[in-house]
């Protein structure tokens, strides 16, 4: 313990002051998420007077995390669930009257917004699994009355793609081999194959949607190549034209024209985001905006007439900065930062590094170091540090450069922090993603071990002081680290991680059923004796007796993806062997933390736990535990000062 002043975790993990800024389609209103009595709600102001913002929602328990403007420019749609169960409701709020309407007032179903269109401003396409839990039917819903009309009864599709006239144009039908058939209506009430997406391309090929006239389909496509590129397909001739690509990275962002719905810029992220401007009409805008401020540029929102944009600059060592951009004047006006309280806080830089795996595969990774530990400013500490290996979820996801609250907190507490895009991660081409097939607890884990060894050899990490931590797949990786390689890590923190791959696949949410064939190809097949044996051999539960190092487990009781049973069963197995474990359960959370009070309590537990086993600093609990719903099921003695509470 150093006794120095620490960055309060609330500054890093508390709700942002403002987030997700957008313009209404007519440009009159500016909206964003901001706290109301400690819960993120929707606020709206006249664009020309942001100081006049008022809340238009009254959520009291769970943060709003996603919203969209309807093309009426008067209605905002957002989604909300209960206690993390992911039974999402789509709620419509009238900005002017303040009236709110639940467009999907059905208990126990999962609904989501499929499409909005400026041609149908008072309607939305919403997918709802109210008829069959495994399948989402498509409805056309009137925003003013709530009346809904069935558009398509889903007979086994994983995705439904419509045009801007709300006409169903294509559907994706999963096949037993993990591939997808893309079907189009045959004109006689049935379907015909339009194209096929082989299993090896399913993660890296995505249909984006149609141009406003419906004649052109835009998609990310990796077929016949490695990285996914942006293509246009003529729906009459089926001719496919390459629009933008990058030989190292998959397509990650597409900026579409607000009314014509055609791509104008494409983003590719290898280590950092790089924009490819497609439409020359935007060339000067991007030249100005990219030179205007440091950080990665993101266009958050555009008015329908394209006169105004909301842009953000994302940084690694400062809060995100939001601007209102006037295209005619070519001038950006500062609006706000998302966390102004961090403006003068000494945050750590995040260094992109490329780590070679043992077979030569390049692993794009990100390293953060404690402020002042790197006097040469070369991305290497003056002496080896205790380190936390922070593993992302998915695993079909990736880590990015930028502000990361865990990186900042852990670096501030005295640790090097390393995030690794191991094989199976997305963004680096299909060969890299597919290299993870069948490699859970195999080569995917070896990549993490190789990264740890790299950090030790580079003088970044102390061999005896490396922790592993992560959520979802990262939680699984934590359990693998402590069971398959029990001597490598000093301790582990598992957040909603599966412990048994058989029970994980047997208990997925019903609406994931269309994706199960693909998951079985990538993880293993729980329906065959051979597949079950393989999955059990790659499950931490089967090696629970090998755990030698301290373990902290956090679980949401309502998690529909990784059920509470996944944590319960490994805790029980450890207890039967007399192996200590600290297990904290959140009765009002699901797959991760949505409530600020719960996030802060878990971070408090984690930093105290890591401090005990790695030797870094930690902020006292304060009232962060008492204000949360955290239930210490077992192992309070495993976290300093917890058993006395």
CA gap 538, 390 in Å, rounded: 20
Catalytic position from the list 348, 472, 499, 601: 472
Closest by Cα among 79, 99, 101, 98 to 90:
79
Q: Is 249 in contact with 270 (CB distance < 8 Å)? A: yes
Give the contacts of 571 (CB within 8 A, at least 6 positions apart): 553, 581, 583, 633, 634
Output phi, psi for 552, to 5 deg: -115, 125
Strands (E), 154-210: 159-162, 168-174, 180-185, 191-197, 206-210
- CA dist 610 and 390 (Å) reads 13
With vertex at residue 129, the alpha carbon angle to CA 125 and CA 131, rounded to the nearest 5 degrees, is 115
Give Cβ neighbours of residue 14 (< 8 Å, ≥ 6 apart): 596, 600
The Cα 194–Cα 191 span in angstroms is 9
Are the C-beta atoms of residues 165 and 177 closer than 8 Å to each other?
no
DSSP H stretches of helix in 165-309: 283-292
Q: What is the DSSP string of 381-432?
A: -SS-EEEEEEE-SSSSS---SS--HHHHHHHHTT-EEEEE--TT-SSS-HHH
The residue annotated as part of the active site, out of 317, 559, 588, 617, is: 559
Residue 279 designated active-site:
no
CA-based angle 394:156:523, to the nearest 5?
Answer: 30
| Annotation marks residue 186 as catalytic | no
Residue 190, C-beta contacts closer than 8 angstroms, at least 6 positions apart = none
- Helix, strand, coil percentages, rounded to 5, for the chain: 20, 35, 45
Asked if 22 is an active-site residue, the reply is no
Structure tokens at 222: 């990796």
By the 8 A CB rule, do 473 and 391 touch?
A: yes
Catalytic residue among 89, 445, 591, 613: 591
If residue 117 lies in a helix (H) or strand (E), which one and from where to where?
none
- List, in sequence order, every residue forming a beta bridge with 39; answer none if it has no partner: 36
Helices 473-484 and 443-457, packing angle to 10 deg: 80
CA dihedral 546, 549, 555, 560 (to 10 degrees): -40
Residue tagged 């990186």 (tokens): 407
Work out whether strand 54-55 and strand 39-46 pair parallel, antiparallel, or are unpaired.
antiparallel
Query: Closest by alpha carbon to 207, among 169, 245, 264?
Result: 169
Angle at 229 (CA atoms; ends 305, 252), nearest 5 degrees: 65
- Token pair for residue 228? 């996914």
Please report, in angstroms and rounded to a whole number, the separation of the first and last CA atoms in the chain: 22
Q: What residues act catalytically?
A: 472, 559, 591
């Amino acid at each position: 313990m150093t006794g120095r002043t620490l960055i309060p975790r609330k500054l890093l993990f508390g709700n942002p002051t403002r987030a997700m800024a957008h313009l209404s389609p007519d440009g009159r209103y500016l909206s964003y998420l901001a706290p109301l009595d400690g819960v993120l709600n929707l606020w709206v102001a006249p664009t020309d007077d942001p100081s006049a913002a008022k809340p238009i929602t009254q959520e009291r328990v769970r943060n709003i995390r996603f919203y969209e403007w309807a093309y009426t420019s008067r209605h905002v749609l957002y989604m909300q669930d209960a206690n993390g169960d992911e039974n999402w409701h789509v709620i419509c709020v009238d900005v002017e009257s303040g009236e709110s309407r639940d467009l999907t007032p059905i208990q126990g179903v999962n609904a989501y917004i499929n499409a909005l269109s400026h041609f149908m401003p008072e309607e939305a396409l919403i997918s709802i699994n109210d008829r069959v839990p495994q399948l989402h039917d498509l409805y056309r819903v009137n925003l003013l009355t709530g009346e809904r009309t069935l558009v398509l009864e889903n007979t086994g599709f994983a995705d439904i793609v419509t045009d801007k006239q709300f006409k169903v144009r294509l559907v994706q039908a999963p096949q037993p081999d993990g591939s997808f058939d893309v079907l189009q209506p045959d004109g006689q009430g049935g379907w015909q194959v339009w194209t096929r997406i082989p299993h090896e391309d399913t993660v890296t090929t995505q249909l984006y949607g149609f141009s406003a006239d419906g004649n052109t389909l835009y998609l990310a496509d990796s077929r016949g190549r490695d990285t996914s590129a942006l293509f246009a397909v003529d729906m009459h001739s089926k001719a496919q034209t390459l629009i933008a690509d990058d030989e190292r990275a998959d397509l990650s962002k597409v900026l579409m024209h607000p009314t014509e719905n055609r791509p104008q810029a494409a983003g590719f992220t290898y280590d950092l985001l790089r924009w490819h401007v497609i439409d020359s009409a935007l060339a000067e805008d991007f030249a100005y905006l990219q030179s205007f401020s440091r950080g990665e540029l993101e266009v958050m929102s555009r008015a329908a007439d394209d006169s105004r944009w909301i842009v953000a600059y994302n940084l690694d060592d400062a809060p995100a900065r939001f601007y209102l951009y006037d295209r005619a004047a070519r001038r950006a006006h500062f609006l706000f930062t998302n966390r102004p309280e961090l403006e003068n806080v000494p945050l750590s830089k995040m260094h992109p590094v490329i780590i070679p795996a043992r077979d030569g595969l390049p692993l794009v990774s990100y390293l953060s170091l404690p402020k002042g530990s790197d006097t040469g400013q070369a991305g290497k500490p003056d002496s080896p540090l205790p380190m936390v290996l922070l593993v992302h979820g998915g695993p079909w996801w990736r880590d990015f450069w930028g502000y990361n609250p865990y990186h900042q907190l852990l670096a501030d507490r005295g640790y090097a922090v390393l995030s690794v895009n191991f094989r199976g991660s997305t963004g680096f081409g299909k060969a890299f993603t597919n290299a993870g097939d069948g490699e859970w607890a195999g080569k995917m884990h070896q990549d993490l071990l190789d990264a740890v060894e790299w950090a030790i050899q580079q003088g970044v990490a102390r061999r005896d002081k490396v922790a592993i931590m992560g959520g979802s797949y990262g939680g699984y990786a934590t359990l693998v680290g402590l069971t398959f390689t029990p001597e490598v890590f000093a301790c582990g923190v598992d957040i909603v991680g599966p412990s048994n791959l058989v029970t994980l696949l047997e208990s997925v949410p019903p609406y994931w059923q269309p994706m199960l064939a693909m998951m079985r190809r990538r993880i293993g097949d729980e329906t065959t004796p051979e597949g079950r044996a393989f999955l059990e051999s790659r499950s931490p539960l089967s090696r629970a007796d090998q755990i030698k190092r301290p373990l902290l487990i956090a679980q949401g009781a309502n998690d529909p993806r990784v059920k509470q049973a996944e944590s319960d069963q490994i805790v029980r197995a450890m207890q039967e062997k007399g192996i200590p474990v600290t297990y904290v359960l959140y009765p009002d959370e699901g797959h991760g933390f949505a409530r600020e009070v719960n996030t802060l309590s878990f971070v408090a537990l984690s930093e105290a736990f890591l401090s005990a086993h790695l030797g870094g600093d930690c902020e006292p609990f304060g009232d962060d535990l008492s204000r949360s719903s955290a239930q210490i099921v077992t192992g309070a003695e495993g976290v300093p000062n917890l058993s006395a509470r």
